Structure 1
Amino acid sequence: MTQSAADLIAETGGVVTALRNAQAAPTVFPVQPEFTNWRSEQKAWRESVALLDQSHHMTDLFIKGPDALRLLSDLGINNFSNFKPKMAKQFVGVNHEGFLVGDAVLVYLEEELFDLIGWHMVIDWVQFHGEKGDYDVTFERDASSAVRKGDPLQYRFEVQGPNAEKLMEKVSSIPVEKTKFFGMLEFEIEGRRIPAIRHGMAGQPGFEFWGPWADYDLIRNAIIEAGEEFELKLAGSLAYSTANVESAWVPSPLPAIYTGEETEEYLKWLPASRVGSIAGSFASENIEDYYNTPFEIGYGRLIDWDHDFIGKEALKKMSEQPQRKKVSLVWNAEDLSAAQRSLYEEGTPAKYINFPKARYGLYQVDRIEVDGKIVGISHDAGYLTNEQAFVSLATVDEEFTEPGTEVVLVWGESPVSTKPAVEDHRQVQIRATVAPAPYSNFARETYRKNATV
Structure 2
Amino acid sequence: MTPAENLPYNPFAPVDLGVARHEMLFGNAYPEAFGDWRDEVMSWKTGAYLTAALNPTLTFRLSGPDALRLLSDHSVNGLTRFPVDAARHLIMCNPAGQIVAHGICVREGEESFLTYWLMPWVSYLAESGRYRVTGENLTGRVFLFQVAGPRSLAVLQAATGEDLRDIRFLRRRATRIAGCAVHVLRVGMAGSLAYEVHGPAEAAHAVYRTLLAAGSPLGLRQLGRTQYRMNHTENGFPQGHVHFLYPWFEDADFARYLTARSGGTPFKTDLRGSAGPDPSLRYRTPVEVGWGHVIRLDHDFMGRQALEAELAAPRRLIATLTWNPEDVLDIYRSYLTEGTPHPFMDFRIDMPPLAQPAPHVSDLVLKDGNVVGISSGRVYSYRYRKMISLASLDAGLAVQGTEVVVLWGDPGTRQREIRAVVDRYPLFDEGRNEDVDVSGPEFAPSAGAAPG
Interval of TM-score (by shorter of Structure 1 and Structure 2): 0.7 to 0.9
Match of 1:291 in 2: 283
Q: State yes or no: 1:282 paired with 2:275.
A: yes
The amino acid that maps onto 2:234 is: E
Distance 1:26 1:315, change over 3 A: farther
Partner of 1:441, secondary structure, is coil
Alignment match, 2:312: 320
Contact 1:79–1:303 (8 Å) recurs in 2: yes
**Equivalent residue pairs, number:** 401
Kindly report which structure 2 residues correspond to 1:58-69, keeping only aligned pairs within 5 A, or say none: 58-69=57-68
Counterpart residue identity of residue 130, structure 1: A
Give the aligned partner of residue 299 of structure 2.
307
Pick which of 320-329 and 359-368 moved more.
Answer: 359-368
Aligned letter for 2:302? I
Q: In structure 2, the residue corresponding to 1:381 is in which secondary structure?
A: strand
Structure 2 match to 1:397: 394
Select the residue among 180, 191, 208 that pairs with 1:220.
208
The offset of 1:104, in angstroms, is 0.9
Give 1:57 deviation, angstroms: 5.2
Cα pair 2:185 2:195 within 8 Å, conserved:
yes
The structural deviation recorded for 1:362 is 5.0
Misfit runs of 4+, over 6 Å:
25-29
State how 1:214-293 maps to structure 2 within 5 Å: 214-252=202-240, 253-259=244-250, 263-271=251-259, 273-274=266-267, 276-283=269-276, 285=278, 287-293=279-285
After TM superposition, give the deviation of residue 273 of structure 1 in Å: 4.3
Determine the structure 2 residue equivalent to 1:167: 155
Cα deviation, 1:330-354, whole Å, max 9, x if unaligned, reads 1111111111221122222111111
Counterpart-to-counterpart distance in 2, 1:345 and 1:378: 28
- My pick for the range that moved more, 312-321 or 81-90, is 312-321
1:77-226 → structure 2 map (5 Å cutoff): 77-118=76-117, 122-143=118-139, 152-226=140-214
Partner of 2:4: none
Q: Which amino acid aligns with 1:117?
A: Y
Is the CA contact (8 Å cut-off) linking 2:327 and 2:419 kept in structure 1?
yes
CA contact (8 A) 2:147 2:196 kept: yes
Distance 1:300 1:449 in 2: 19
Given that 1:177 and 1:185 are in contact with CA atoms closer than 8 Å, whether structure 2 keeps it comes out as no
Which range is displaced more, 210-219 or 269-278? 269-278
Instruction: Please state whether the residue corresponding to 2:31 is helix, strand or coil.
Output: coil
Q: 1:32 to 1:208 in 2, by over 3 A?
A: same
Q: Secondary structure at the match of 1:343?
A: coil
Residue 219 of structure 1 deviates from its aligned partner by 0.8
Partner amino acid for 2:309?
K
Shift of 1:39: 0.9
Q: Which residue of 1 aligns with 2:73?
A: 74
1:406 aligns to 2:403 (yes or no): yes
Q: Which letter does structure 1 place at the counterpart of 2:275? A: F
3-state DSSP of counterpart to 2:340: coil
Deviation readout 1:413-449 (Å, 9 max, x if unpaired): 113xxxxxxxxx4211111111122101316xx4454
Return closer, same or farther for 1:30/1:97 CA change in 2, 3 Å cut-off: farther
Q: Superposed, which structure 2 residues align to 1:431-442 within 5 Å?
A: 431-442=419-430
Give the TM-score normalised by the residue count of structure 1.
Answer: 0.83
Give the match for residue 13 of structure 1.
none
Q: Secondary structure at the match of 1:442?
A: coil
- Label 1:276 to 1:74 Cα distance change in 2 as closer, same or farther (>3 A): farther
Cα distance, 1:111–1:381 mapped onto 2, change above 3 Å:
same
Structure 2 CA distance, aligned partners of 1:394 and 1:39?
24
* Counterpart AA for 2:427: Y
State the Cα distance separating 1:54 from its structure 2 match.
Answer: 3.7
* Matched residue type, 1:107: V
Q: How far apart are 1:278 and its partner, in Å?
A: 2.7
State the alpha-carbon separation in 2 of the partners of residues 174 and 403 from structure 1: 43
Q: Distance in 1 between matches of 2:25 and 2:162?
A: 38
Higher fraction of helix: 1
Unaligned runs of 5+ in 2: 1-22, 260-264, 353-357, 438-452
Secondary structure, aligned partner of 1:107: strand
Task: Work out whether residues 57 and 143 of structure 2, in 8 Å CA contact, stay in contact via their aligned partners in 1.
Answer: no
Shift of 1:256: 2.9
Aligned mates of 2:217, 2:82 — CA distance in 1:
38
For the pair 1:343 / 2:335, whether they are aligned, the reply is yes
Give 1:275 deviation, angstroms.
Answer: 5.6
User: How far apart are residue 133 of structure 1 and its match?
Assistant: 3.5
Deviation, 1:218, is 1.0
Question: How many angstroms apart in 1 are the aligned matches of 2:209 and 2:249?
Answer: 45
Using CA pairs below 8 Å that are at least 6 residues apart, which structure has the higher relative contact order? 1
Look up the match of 1:9: none
Q: 1:81 to 1:108 in 2, by over 3 A?
A: same
Cα distance between partner residues in 2 of 1:27 and 1:246: 24
- Unaligned stretches of 5+ residues in structure 1: 1-24, 144-151, 416-424
**Alignment-derived partner of residue 35 in structure 1:** 34
What residue identity is the alignment partner of 1:60?
T
Identical residues among aligned pairs (%): 28
Query: In the TM superposition, what is the alpha-carbon distance from 1:186 to its structure 2 partner?
Result: 3.0
* CA distance 1:81–1:251, change in 2 (3 Å): same
SS of match in other structure, 2:335: helix
Note closer, same or farther for the CA distance 1:427–1:26 as it changes in structure 2 (3 Å cut).
farther
Change (3 A) 1:387 1:448: farther
Aligned CA distance change for structure 1 residues 207 and 447 (closer, same or farther; 3 Å): closer
Q: Is the 8 A contact 1:58 1:117 kept in 2?
A: yes
Q: Give the Å deviation of 1:160.
A: 1.0
CA distance in structure 2 between the aligned counterparts of 1:26 and 1:371, rounded to whole angstroms: 43
Deviation at 1:325, TM superposition (A): 1.0
C-alpha distance 26-314 of structure 1, shift in aligned 2 (>3 A): farther
Distance 1:128 1:203, change over 3 A: same
Q: Distance in 1 between matches of 2:229 and 2:178?
A: 30
Conservation of the 8 A alpha-carbon contact between 2:275 and 2:281? no
SS at match of 1:102: strand
The whole-number CA distance in structure 2 between the counterparts of 1:438 and 1:312 is: 27
TM score, norm. by length of structure 2: 0.83
Which residue does 2:10 correspond to in 1? none
